[in-house]
Amino acid sequence: MRWIHAARARARLLFRREAEERMNHEIAFHIEMEAERLVREEGLAPQEARRRAVIAFGLAERHKDAMRDGRGLAWLGRLGTLGLDFKLGGRMLVKYPGLTVVGGLAMAFGIWFGAVTFHMFGLVTSTKLPLPDGDRIVKIQNWDSKLAQDEDRVLYDYQLWRSARSITDVGAYRDASPNLVGTDGHALPAMAAEITASAFRIVPERPRLGRVLDASDERAGAAPVVLLGHDVWTRRFDRDPQIVGRTVQLGNRSATVVGVMPEGYGFPIAHELWLPLRTNVAGVEPRRGLPITVFGRLAGGMTFESAQAELTAFGKRLAAEHPATHAHLQPRVIPYTQADGDSGDMPQVKALVYFFVVVLVVVVCSTVALLLFARAAARQTELLIRSALGASRRRIVTQLFAEALVLAGVAAVVGLAAAQLALTRLGKPYIEFNYGRLPFWYDFNLSPTTIGYALALAAIGAVVAGVMPARKITRGLGTQLRAGSAGGGGASFGGVWTAVIVTQVALTVMIPAAAMLVRSESQRIASYDFGFPAQEYLGVTLGLDGPPDEMPTPETGARLGTLVEALRGRLEAEPGVAGVTFVDQLPGTYHVARHLEVVSLPGHPSSWVRTARVPTSYFDVLKAPMIAGRPFTSADLSPDAHVVIVDQGFVDRVMGGRNPIGHRVRMSAEQTPDSTAAQGPWYEIVGLVKGLGMSHVDARRRPAGVYLPFVPGDQGALGIIVQGQGDPLSLAPRVRALATAVDPALRVEQMTRLDQVAAPQLWFLNLWMRIIIGLTAVALLLSLSGIYAVLSYIVARRTREIGVRVALGASARRVIASIFRRPLTQVTLGVIGGSILIVVAAIAVQHTQEFAAVKPSGLTFGDVALLSGYSILMLGVCMLACVVPTLRALRVQPTEALRAE
């Protein structure tokens, strides 16, 4: 605490005027009080009392001097001349507030961007668990070199891997998400891991209550047990201290709670519930059985290489024993945090990103360099005097560098504070959006490495912003000294600065084009046409309890169908519910694609179509009457009915506008690249309905949609659509309660109002939008201040010339023209350059395969008009930066200019 008081007191003393005022006030107050006391106690006349009080105070000026000496950054002086330089740097910050704000903000932005990028990238690509010996925890995978993917049915291999001598505590887990029934009676899916007890030796942590899982729990016939995570214990069981030993319901199973883990424990990834995994299954065949992930810890003295060598030997042995399944399998030992799949080029990508950030900081700091250069140029007389008094060039460069370093230091503090805010407020949801869940080792607090990186960026920035202009400005000092003149000659703005300004203006023109692209994307998504009043409907995805990676079987599908039907019946009886229907895929989400052929048309036109399976009530509940033909009847639900209903998109894209009713089509079973429609059964089109959200919300084109009658059986999940009489979201708690009541294994996976299906995408696009707008603002600010600095400098340096011109009768117009020529050229060049880059980028994007999915529809006429308008605006705004210096130039009086000599 003491240093806080001290720092505050010192900071206050930095402001000279305030400190002087305070000192004078205190002394005056003291003398007044003393004089009053003398009048009161010794009966002196006021005038005499005051005289005596002044004498008693002593030499006021001497005390003031003592205070002035003690004030400011004198303490820094003890650090030697460098301290003096920093002191001057600090004073410069206060003396040139405009430069401090603009330059500091720009640098802070660069550092902020760098720190956030570095930290986020570090999280995603880190190969070390932040635990003791975290870099020795590994994953073992079976890599299929033929399919170029990871084979996770490794239960057979696992038995052998456990005997490895180079890796200890070999264990395995698989994801599960059972429906956990909490104290409130609701069943909600929990992120569970079926895991071997060795996990709790790999990442050891004392449980908060009870015990962790142990080997006895894995034995066949052992009583079912569960270990709870802190979060689940808190949220679902109200931190019940008596939970250990109690039985909880997990879908249709029940298990006894053996313990509660402490807060933050999420091994293997982001799990909140642990169940024993039985791996010693008798008679497991190679490449069969449950998919599992295998982990372990490098044994003492072993390296990745030695472990890999041992596993490779195992792999060869298995390949020899089971050539049919293992010929192409190769075990790999990889760092635990490395993402699945081959990510061998990650280090290069990482280096590239970090390099890009450095480039960004250099570009930003070159403008700051421009500003500092203009400031240094204005101080040329001071520098000349220093030089004359014996300061070496190196000494002056050091001083200017120290000034830049102080600015960069302040910027680093601001940038890091903003980075911390951004990481917790935006970084976390960003990762959640992209990866679905947050691994437990992700820490969004600035790490020492990130802070180090940011400080390094600040140092680089200070070198660019300080040393470059300093070297330039000190180059001609000797010559100028000999010439005995401080004005004119010497420092001038070279090609580098022009390039910097032109680049910035180009960026300022270019970045908004990207913003426009993002905005049109989010507008397009936000204006997605569902074809029905989506805000009146609640969309609920329902699934059956079980491991998420298990394929649905006809039995589970049929059971799900029965349960959903039961739920539908109960929901319909609820007050406030206007209608209930279901569908295999909710509107606005991905639908199954099939290849379709119209057999009844000449040439058998074919196309990809999106399909949905719906019950007879579907179109009624969505208030979408048939445009032509008839809706499904209960007779159509029979497996031999073979009828479909198509939507308007189908008529437009497949039928070429013809009436589809009565035509016959054939469809492939599912979406595979080589699927043909030829083998599929025949269907007759019986109805036509308008488009009802058969594509994902971010799809660009309305698809051709085909509705099949709903046959329960082959779905792993089902969507139920509930129409509310008021806000459908108010029905959500009832839907959950009824689902649990129908069957605890019936899982509510997702529940949203249908018009909000796109909310996460919109959030994501909005975030990018905000980042881009921030970038634009910084680029604009920088180019404006750059132009302003250059112009002010030029005007200042040409004062005499302008004076002479005016004295000789030059008109204001000619003076303005001569000043404006340079910035006008620069801005024009920048605008042209930026526009060319936009066009090039637009062409590149349209010809790049990677962007095929997000192919922008090209810049429309409106966009081009908007961009041109913006360019003109840019030109105008840049010219604004010229107004003040120009006015200053015009005010130059010939006499004054000549006296300057």
Partner 1 sequence: MTIRPQSDALRGSLDLLVLKTLSLQPMHGWGIGQRVQQISDGVLEVNQGSLYPALQRLEKEGLVTSDWGTTDNNRRARYYELTAAGRRALGAELESWRRFAAGLEAVLRTT
Choose between 34 and 801: whose C-beta lies nearer to partner 1: 34
Residue 28 sits in the site that holds partner 1 (CB under 8 A): no
Min dist. Cβ of residue 83 to partner 1 (A):
16
For 284, which DSSP code? P
Q: Binding partner 1 by CB under 8 A: which of 6, 388, 635, 669?
A: 6
Count of H-run helices and E-run strands, the chain:
30, 24
Min dist. Cβ of residue 43 to partner 1 (A):
18
Q: Write the burial class of residue 539 (CB in 10 Å: 0-12 exposed, 13-18 middle, 19+ buried).
A: buried
Residue with tokens 């490794």: 154
Binding residues for partner 1 restricted to 74-113, rule: CB under 8 A: 75
H helix or E strand, kind and range, residue 332? strand 329-335
Min dist. Cβ of residue 4 to partner 1 (A):
8
Q: Is 198 helix (H, G, I), strand (E, B) or coil?
A: coil
Choose between 11 and 551: whose C-beta lies nearer to partner 1: 11
Choose between 64 and 153: whose C-beta lies nearer to partner 1: 64
Choose between 8 and 316: whose C-beta lies nearer to partner 1: 8
Instruction: Please name which of 15, 51, 17, 1 lies closest in space to residue 31, comparing C-alpha atoms.
Output: 51
Min dist. Cβ of residue 54 to partner 1 (A):
10
Instruction: Give, in degrees to the nearest 5, the angle at Cα 880 between 874 and 884.
Output: 160
Choose between 19 and 455: whose C-beta lies nearer to partner 1: 19
Alpha carbon 462 to chain centroid, angstroms: 27
Choose between 35 and 232: whose C-beta lies nearer to partner 1: 35
Q: Binding partner 1 by CB under 8 A: which of 37, 437, 630, 855?
A: 37
Q: Which residues contact 740 (CB under 8 A, 6 or more apart)?
A: 179, 181, 185, 186, 187, 746
Min dist. Cβ of residue 56 to partner 1 (A):
6
Choose between 57 and 355: whose C-beta lies nearer to partner 1: 57
H helix or E strand, kind and range, residue 411? helix 393-422
Min dist. Cβ of residue 368 to partner 1 (A):
32
CB atoms within 10 A of CB 286: 17
Residue 25 sits in the site that holds partner 1 (CB under 8 A): yes
Residue 41 sits in the site that holds partner 1 (CB under 8 A): no
| Pair 647, 704: CB distance under 8 Å | yes
Residue 56 sits in the site that holds partner 1 (CB under 8 A): yes
Residue 3 sits in the site that holds partner 1 (CB under 8 A): yes
Give the 3-state DSSP-derived string for 626-665, with helices as H, strands as E and coil as C: CCEECCCCHHHHCCCCCEEEEEHHHHHHCCCCCCCCCCEE
| Pair 789, 802: CB distance under 8 Å | no
- Rounded to whole angstroms, what are the CA distances from 84 to 19, 72, 75, 92, 395? 20, 11, 10, 12, 12
Residue 33 sits in the site that holds partner 1 (CB under 8 A): yes
Residue 15 sits in the site that holds partner 1 (CB under 8 A): no
CA 470, CA 375: separation in Å to the nearest integer?
11
Choose between 16 and 165: whose C-beta lies nearer to partner 1: 16
Residue 58 sits in the site that holds partner 1 (CB under 8 A): yes
| Pair 158, 318: CB distance under 8 Å | no
Binding part of the chain for partner 1, among 25-33, 578-586, 704-712, 758-766 by CB under 8 A, reads: 25-33
Residue 851 sits in the site that holds partner 1 (CB under 8 A): no
How many residues interact with partner 1 (rule CB under 8 A)?
Answer: 34
Q: Binding partner 1 by CB under 8 A: which of 14, 20, 27, 83?
A: 27
CA 260, CA 269: separation in Å to the nearest integer?
17
Min dist. Cβ of residue 49 to partner 1 (A):
14
CA 411, CA 455: separation in Å to the nearest integer?
10
Binding part of the chain for partner 1, among 28-36, 296-304, 520-528, 561-569 by CB under 8 A, reads: 28-36
Min dist. Cβ of residue 68 to partner 1 (A):
10
Min dist. Cβ of residue 15 to partner 1 (A):
14
Sign of CA dihedral 320, 322, 324, 328: negative
Binding mask 707-726 for partner 1 (x = CB under 8 A): --------------------
Residue 22 sits in the site that holds partner 1 (CB under 8 A): yes
CA 815, CA 123: separation in Å to the nearest integer?
57
Instruction: Give, in degrees to the nearest 5, the angle at Cα 273 between 269 and 274.
Output: 85
Residue 891 sits in the site that holds partner 1 (CB under 8 A): no
Q: Binding partner 1 by CB under 8 A: which of 16, 40, 57, 246?
A: 57
Choose between 1 and 551: whose C-beta lies nearer to partner 1: 1
Question: DSSP strand E in 705-758: where?
Answer: 705-709, 717-724, 746-753
Min dist. Cβ of residue 12 to partner 1 (A):
9
Q: Binding partner 1 by CB under 8 A: which of 14, 39, 44, 60?
A: 60
Question: DSSP strand E in 83-181: where?
Answer: 137-144, 149-151, 167-176, 179-181
The amino acid present at 169, given as its one-letter code, is D
- Rounded to whole angstroms, what are the CA distances from 161 to 156, 164, 170, 312, 612? 9, 5, 8, 11, 45
Choose between 29 and 682: whose C-beta lies nearer to partner 1: 29
Q: Binding partner 1 by CB under 8 A: which of 10, 51, 153, 379?
A: 10
Binding residues for partner 1 restricted to 676-695, rule: CB under 8 A: none
Min dist. Cβ of residue 77 to partner 1 (A):
14
CB atoms within 10 A of CB 282: 5
Binding residues for partner 1 restricted to 181-200, rule: CB under 8 A: none
Q: Binding partner 1 by CB under 8 A: which of 14, 20, 30, 391?
A: 30
Strand partners of residue 394 = none
Binding residues for partner 1 restricted to 61-80, rule: CB under 8 A: 62-63, 66-67, 70-71, 75
Which strands sit side by side in the sheet containing 717-724, from one edge to the other?
Answer: 577-583, 717-724, 537-544, 746-753
Binding part of the chain for partner 1, among 30-38, 412-420, 671-679, 805-813 by CB under 8 A, reads: 30-38
Choose between 7 and 421: whose C-beta lies nearer to partner 1: 7
Choose between 9 and 282: whose C-beta lies nearer to partner 1: 9
Q: Is 49 helix (H, G, I), strand (E, B) or coil?
A: helix
Residue 316 sits in the site that holds partner 1 (CB under 8 A): no
- 333-355 burial by CB neighbour count: b if 16+ within 10 A, else e? bbbbbbeeeeeeeeeeeeeeebe
Min dist. Cβ of residue 1 to partner 1 (A):
6
Residue 11 sits in the site that holds partner 1 (CB under 8 A): no
Binding mask 484-523 for partner 1 (x = CB under 8 A): ----------------------------------------
Min dist. Cβ of residue 50 to partner 1 (A):
14
Choose between 28 and 852: whose C-beta lies nearer to partner 1: 28
Choose between 39 and 514: whose C-beta lies nearer to partner 1: 39
Strand partners of residue 188 = 180
Q: Binding partner 1 by CB under 8 A: which of 5, 78, 146, 891?
A: 5
Min dist. Cβ of residue 67 to partner 1 (A):
5
Residue 391 sits in the site that holds partner 1 (CB under 8 A): no
- Rounded to whole angstroms, what are the CA distances from 185 to 249, 732, 738, 781? 10, 15, 11, 57
CA 413, CA 825: separation in Å to the nearest integer?
37
Residue 29 sits in the site that holds partner 1 (CB under 8 A): yes
- Interacting residue ranges for partner 1, rule: CB under 8 A: 1-10, 13, 22-23, 25-27, 29-30, 32-34, 37, 56-60, 62-63, 66-67, 70-71, 75
